[in-house]
Amino acid sequence: METSFTPFASLAGGLLIGLAAVLLMATRGRVFGATGILAGFISPSSSSDWAWRAALLAGMVTGPLVYLGVAGEFPAIEVPVSTPMMVIGGLIVGMGVTYGSGCTSGHGVCGLARISPRSIVATLTFMATTGLTVYLVRHVMGG
């Protein structure tokens, strides 16, 4: 499935993601890692620790609604993956980010921005295995 190259929208989106990361650090002193925020939300250590995560997640989830209000449509979600593969992919992602202590936002954005050696290693690792997986699925197994 072809998708069109969108450098300006993607850059603008990236700038907003970076801005959100900076604002969360400036106010709550935390990195903006989706994995860590979700993990603390589903098993909170205290009610005060839960409330800010719930507020942050509520903001994240309502992001597409603001996009809808401005652009007149929801952001495109095209899924070239079967439902069973989506379940398998989700399970693997959940296990991987728990063992790896982070994902694209935590290691890839916040960790690289802090020049954390752990995050640099993590990001290089998952970018490599993602690329390899896509190659195998599309050009070796599926074709």
Partner 1 sequence: MRLIVTYLIGLVFGVGISLSGMANPAKVLNFFDVFGTWDPSLAFVMGGAVVVAFLGYRWVLKQPAPMFDPHFQVPTSRTIDARLIGGSAVFGIGWGIAGFCPGGALPALGTGNLDVLIFTAALVAGIFAARLLMRITANLTDNGLTRA
For residues 5-34, which are near partner 1 according to CB under 8 A? 5-7, 9-34
Measured from the CB atom, the residue of 27 and 46 that comes closer to partner 1 is: 27
Measured from the CB atom, the residue of 26 and 46 that comes closer to partner 1 is: 26
Binding to partner 1, residues 35-94 (CB under 8 A): 35, 38-39, 42, 51-52, 55-67, 74-81, 83, 85-94
Secondary structure (DSSP) of 44-105: -SSHHHHHHHHHHHHHHHHHHHHHHHHHSSPPP----S-HHHHHHHHHHHHHHHHHHT--II
Q: At what angle do helices 117-135 and 83-100 cross, to 10 degrees?
A: 160
Q: Using the rule CB under 8 A, is 117 a contact of partner 1?
A: yes
Count the residues of the shown chain that bind partner 1, applying the rule CB under 8 A.
111
